[in-house]
Amino acid sequence: MARRRRRDYNTSVIATSAGHREQLVEAASATPGGAAAVEAALATIERELPDAPAVLARGIPVAISIAQLRLDTHVLAAALVRPACESGLPTARVVELFGAEEAALCDGVARLEHVRWDHLEQEATENLRKMFLAIASDIRVVLRMTDSVNTFSREAVVGMTLRCGRGRSGGRGDGRLQHSD
């Protein structure tokens, strides 16, 4: 039973990624060399990473947002490979497969995630404010923010789906969303 669920999940992830893949290539074509870079990155991920469907399911929506911002090809590739980095893909392997700039972007985003924003003291907060002003043009910040927006959007869709399904808590059972006031 668990094996069947995993296969069904992988099939749905691949189908979703295939539809978004076309959207990504189209959005990336607005950047010079973007479509070719995206195709190359997608091919490398599919060829080299054992968990490619899961990586692409998380990376493609972020890369679409990055492409719509018309950021460069290094950022697009970093957006695609970043979920693999979170799953443990070593930085040296990212350098080997994609390049040093992509690896540096993924590494920088990972460092931003480790900041404990809720435990900062006044002096630390001021130092961070100065640092953020200094790196406002740094693309890692944009990449991290785009990933957060996509994660939030995905969680919102899942929440709405769970609320409207038959037999699930909070649902009416008729397929319509229940509005909570």
Q: What is the pLDDT of residue 151?
A: 75
Mean pLDDT by 10 residues, the chain (181 residues): 45 56 90 90 91 90 89 90 89 93 89 71 70 62 71 66 52 48 46
Q: What is the pLDDT of residue 3?
A: 46
Q: What is the pLDDT of residue 40?
A: 92
Contact 45, 77 (CB under 8 A): no
Q: What is the pLDDT of residue 99?
A: 93
Q: What is the pLDDT of residue 144?
A: 73
Q: CB pairs under 8 A, 24+ apart, for 18-25?
A: 20/60, 20/61, 20/64, 21/56, 21/60, 23/64, 24/60, 24/63, 24/64, 24/67
Q: What is the pLDDT of residue 137?
A: 56
Domain boundaries, given as residue ranges, for the chain: 2-164
Architecture, CATH, for domain 2-164:
Orthogonal Bundle (1.10)
pTM of the model: 0.60
